[in-house]
Amino acid sequence: MEKRYTVEVDDFERAGAASISLKELLQKLGLAPETVRRIAIGTYEGEINCLIHGGGGVVIADITPHVITVRIEDHGPGIPDVEKAMQEGWSTASEEIRAKGFGAGMGLPNMKKVSDTFRIETEVGKGTTVIMGFSCV
């Protein structure tokens, strides 16, 4: 089963709506609560990044009985130095974003931590795609 959710540009009020819809769906499907939690946290971090850094995009969840794959795609500025971006505490978020409770530079490392497989495809000027895989067993 494939589910697509749109992440609107700078719609901070709605940020997280995709992750929460996905979480509700996975709960209904009867996945283990700890797996649902990992997927929800990883997707939410990705959704917020997509919105505040990537200028909006799409979340695509591919759901099979054993593996859930979540792709978060945007056509924003891309990440010039992925290694740096993966460091805890490294962030280019604005003061405004920080005042809203984000921008600690924890998102990407956390997405890697909660997922079983993690990959970033990014090109400066073209966009960023983050792909997380979650095993359901």
In the complex, the residues that contact other proteins under the rule CB under 8 A are 12-13, 15-16, 19-20, 23, 33-34, 37, 40-41, 43-45, 98, 100-107, 109-110, 113
| Residue 19 interacting entry, from ligand ATP, other proteins, Mg ion, none, C-beta within 5 to 8 Å by type | other proteins
**Which H helix or E strand runs over 107?**
helix 107-114
CB atoms within 10 A of CB 87: 12
Neighbours of 5 (CB within 10 A): 18
Residues 74-113 contacting ligand ATP, CB under 6 A: 74, 76-77, 79, 85, 90-93, 102-108
Per-residue x/- track, 24-53, ligand ATP (CB under 6 A)? ---------------------x---xx--x
Neighbours of 9 (CB within 10 A): 13
In which residue are the tokens 């649902």 written?
36
Count residues near Mg ion (CB under 5 A): 2
Q: Is the dihedral of CA 51, 53, 55, 59 positive or negative?
A: negative
Residues forming the site for ligand ATP (CB under 6 A) = 45, 49-50, 53-54, 74, 76-77, 79, 85, 90-93, 102-108, 128
